[in-house]
């Protein structure tokens, strides 16, 4: 019995403890029943700005140390064509978000427009009285961080409006390509650019720039629903790329070393599959040989399967309408080409700042639409020599100028241009002291200084459209 008594007392003690715990718990809940639980909400993550939104002006700020900036200037002095990157921080604000990336690459870019962004040769950064200059820049988000992207892009290009007082020529052309269904053209939009040398007291405001999509692997990936595959051969084609001769010595992979004496450049520069250069040369050589040697029905059957003819003729209808003389047909320059994984050829238009009345080699407002360039450059000439393709080409040209369409028709083009100019006008004055206002005239080195875009008199849109003959 003593054992039973001790067990009973222990059970009663546990029961009292249980009751006590229950009462305390009930009391606590009764005290807080009128209060909502505390929920910790993390701060919102900014969404990437759609940088190719033509209706907005994006603000890009680059922060660079003095040492890195001086390295950029020194590299330019050694070799203006260099492609050496320096380290920078990147901030973009499109009005609804503010996103920063550290450790991106920045370099100077451009051909005849490439220039030193500060001072004269041999001068380091001047903290007291910097002499800023407009220059083109390439931004590489993954240069120092392999997986870093912005808007799924590895690179973007920033271009100042060299020789374009209207601040609109290339923007207009790329927008027209997009409106007209030429999906191979790169995208572009406006931005304002600020550069902060980290040790300086204030930032340098470089004014209004154009953002342009870089034509590279990411360009292909963003169009993966258009191409059969994105692993084909992409070529950049520079002056002399006539597609007339299968010269393998003109094909290669550029090697832009800091020393100008050792760097290698090629007319046809392979941008993808660089480790498989010889097969890429084989493909390009075969294409040039077939294109130049095939004739008659054999050529027509081959080319209709090798090229998207309507897309190519849409591209060239825009090209010739906007007066792009520094192109494939006239100057064997400024284009890319892509051989899809199924072997199909695509022409990619590029570099349209010298257009819309900025003219050389010809009068780009009155030049014959069938004789735009050198008759020996075969790509367009041989195709439009086929009657049904020539009719298709003229059909696209007339579609561009039709009043009912918002393409090249003068009154609608003027409205688009003025809307863009009004959007950027207050941002144009800048710390370089260059290109400080919007004016309606072409480049001063051109052969037709009278052409205008906004004015009714000598209006390029009106003159160009008036010289288009009827469809035969």
Beta bridge partners of 233: 339
- pLDDT value of residue 99: 72
3-state secondary structure 99-139: EEEEEEEEEEECCCCCCCCECCCCCCCCCCCCCECCCEEEE
Contact (Cβ atoms closer than 8 angstroms) between residue 384 and residue 395: no
- pLDDT value of residue 218: 94
What are the Cα distances from residue 40, in Å, to 37, 44, 289? Answer: 10, 12, 68
- pLDDT value of residue 380: 96
* C-alpha to C-alpha distance for 365 and 358, rounded to whole angstroms: 10
Strand 204-213 and strand 268-270: the pairing is unpaired
Q: Average pLDDT over the chain, rounded to whole?
A: 90
> Across residues 286-303, what is the average pLDDT?
98
| pLDDT band at residue 49 using 50, 70 and 90 as cut-offs | low
Closest listed residue to residue 210, CA positions, set 184, 186, 183, 182: 186
410-444 pLDDT, tens digit per residue, is 999 999 999 999 999 999 999 999 999 999 999 99
200-245 pLDDT, tens digit per residue, is 999 999 999 999 999 999 999 999 999 999 999 999 999 999 999 9
The tokens describing 396, both together, are 């696209």
* Selected residue with higher pLDDT from 261 and 182: 182
Asked if residue 195 has pLDDT above 70, the reply is: yes
Share in percent of the chain as helix, strand, coil (round to 5): 35, 20, 50
- pLDDT value of residue 46: 52
Backbone angles phi, psi at 317, to 5 degrees: -65, -45
Helix (H, G, I), strand (E, B) or coil at 449: coil
Dihedral sign (CA 437, 443, 448, 449): positive
- By CB atoms closer than 10 A (0-12, 13-18, 19+), residue 222 is middle
Contact (Cβ atoms closer than 8 angstroms) between residue 144 and residue 86: no
Beta bridge partners of 278: none
> Across residues 92-107, what is the average pLDDT?
80
> What residues does each domain of the chain span?
57-214, 230-401
- What single DSSP character describes residue 42? P
Helix (H, G, I), strand (E, B) or coil at 171: helix
* C-alpha to C-alpha distance for 419 and 54, rounded to whole angstroms: 11
Separation of first and last alpha carbons in the chain: 122
């Amino acid at each position: 019995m003593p054992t039973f008594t001790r067990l009973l007392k222990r059970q009663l003690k546990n029961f009292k403890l249980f009751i006590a715990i229950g009462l305390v718990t009930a009391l606590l809940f009764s005290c807080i029943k009128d209060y909502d639980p505390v929920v910790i909400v993390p701060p919102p993550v900014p969404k990437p700005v759609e940088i190719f939104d033509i209706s907005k002006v994006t603000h890009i700020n680059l922060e660079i140390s003095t040492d890195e900036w001086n390295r950029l200037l020194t590299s330019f002095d050694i070799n203006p064509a260099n492609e050496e990157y320096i380290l920078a921080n990147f901030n973009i604000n499109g009005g609804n978000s503010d996103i920063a990336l550290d450790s991106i690459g920045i370099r100077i870019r451009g051909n005849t427009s490439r220039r030193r962004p500060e001072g004269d040769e041999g001068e380091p950064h001047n903290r007291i009285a910097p002499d800023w200059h407009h220059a083109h820049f390439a931004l590489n988000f993954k240069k120092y961080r392999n997986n870093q992207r912005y808007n799924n892009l590895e690179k973007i290009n920033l271009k100042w409006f060299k020789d374009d007082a209207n601040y609109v020529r290339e923007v207009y052309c790329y927008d027209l390509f997009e409106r007209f269904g030429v999906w191979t053209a790169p995208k572009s939009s406006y931005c304002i650019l600020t550069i902060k040398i980290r040790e300086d007291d204030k930032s340098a405001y470089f004014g209004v720039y154009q953002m342009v999509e870089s034509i590279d692997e990411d360009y292909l990936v963003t169009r993966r629903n258009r191409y059969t595959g994105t692993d084909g051969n992409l070529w950049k084609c520079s002056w002399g790329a006539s597609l007339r001769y299968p010269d393998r010595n003109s094909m290669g992979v550029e090697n832009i070393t800091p020393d100008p004496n050792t760097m290698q450049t090629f007319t046809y520069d392979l941008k993808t599959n660089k480790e498989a250069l010889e097969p890429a040369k084989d493909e390009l050589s075969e294409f040039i040989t077939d294109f130049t040697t095939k004739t008659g029905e054999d050529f027509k059957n081959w080319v209709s399967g090798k090229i998207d003819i309507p897309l190519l003729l849409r591209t060239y209808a825009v090209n010739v309408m906007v007066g792009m003389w520094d192109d494939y047909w006239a100057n064997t320059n400024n284009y890319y080409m892509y051989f899809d994984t199924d072997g199909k050829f695509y022409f990619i238009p590029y570099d349209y700042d010298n257009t819309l009345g900025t003219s050389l080699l010809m009068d780009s407002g009155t030049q014959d639409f069938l004789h735009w360039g050198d008759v020996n450059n075969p790509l367009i000439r041989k195709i439009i020599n086929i009657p049904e393709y020539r009719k298709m080409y003229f059909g696209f040209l007339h579609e561009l100028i039709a009043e009912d369409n918002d393409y090249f028709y003068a009154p609608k083009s003027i409205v688009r241009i003025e809307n863009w100019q009004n959007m950027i006008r207050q941002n144009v004055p800048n710390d370089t002291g260059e290109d400080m206002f919007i004016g309606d005239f072409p480049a001063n080195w051109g052969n037709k200084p009278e052409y205008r875009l906004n004015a009714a008199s000598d209006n390029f849109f009106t003159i160009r459209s008036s010289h288009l003959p009827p469809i035969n």
